[in-house]
Structure 1
């Protein structure tokens, strides 16, 4: 089935959800720590193109949101960590993005803006990466620490939130709630929990987005996937993927 799966289906899925700025506002308000969200002017938020910093193609820009942070223009930078194990490079990735943005602003004579990095995790193992950059350097004495870069990121670990908590925070946004639930269970291939998503009341287009993501990331038998699609009443996708599945199977035999 590898031929049917895009390179980064998790990133693509979350970016599709967050293409709606209402979803971004709700996520920031309800899933980020309150001491952060209360400082952000939610009504003034807008998505930024992640390919903006063309000089820094080596940096992976996941999702950036322009907003006011404490009455000053700034950015929220979202990193989506979906590996089966926590990625220790995440702090360097964040530092690299910060430098890239600030260097670009300095080069174009713009004032430097504050950045709040946010890591969303939904992998198979507990997230054990420190949130503070300085904590990577063990045994440093205070006189030395003052010369080291110091910042933290906000962690949203979906694996630690119950289904009820996710739905409560998402309020009446069923699509956001069930999308986050699906992201939570996809890495561990929890089919029974994922099947519970199939009957939610959302638009056919939103169902298509969720089911297509599941087809791309789940490693299960054809019949299990077909059952999920049928329960979601996405008949068009059922038939499309069944034909694709058979085509891939024939490739494997030849």
Structure 2
């Protein structure tokens, strides 16, 4: 069995889950996914997605109180108490920083997972399979899908997605300033006079700037860009899937959200950076 703890925000967790499912299928291994509500994503899985469309040997569960002391990532916050339990329960454990490093080194996750009890905490797409379409196991819950459909119905064949990441992502703030998006939007309008744009952002200031500059060419959510509540995370999911219904995405540097939104439907993602 593989035990996976997906880490980070929405896009990071989707990547980790999707790759773990691909790995479990290719190795014929059971997979247990434990979903934790935390500062990175303060929301239950079933408040975002329908039950995963997967085989019976793959299960996802919400973390219980006991899980927090046995399967959570060992760190200062929990006094590293899960570590001795994990050393007893698993043949090997890989935590998120090491998982990312091994991914870049071309580590053989298939060989590592075969015929063993292993633990993995990850925030990246650490394993890809040619036999699996990216993110095909995920489906938003009905109420969120209805809102995605409502927003997407306003699009035309020239609607372009824009994702501007701000808040705590210093790299995105520094490398993908708002003026780059304004320049690119002007270029797109020059290419096609019918171009319009769906803006997804966690910055109310950027919403105001782009709507003031481009008027009704900009479509965006009227809801506040808050990501630390259930409603905020549901809005983040709605925006991700709405972006996926555009023709291409202009995204922010060092944000997996831009890339994941594009991968959902296989459209182009252009990262704007200095």
TM range (shorter): under 0.3
Please identify which structure carries the higher helix content: 1
Q: Which protein, 1 or 2, shows the higher relative CO under an 8 Å CA cutoff with sep ≥ 6?
A: 2
**TM-score scaled by length of structure 2:** 0.26
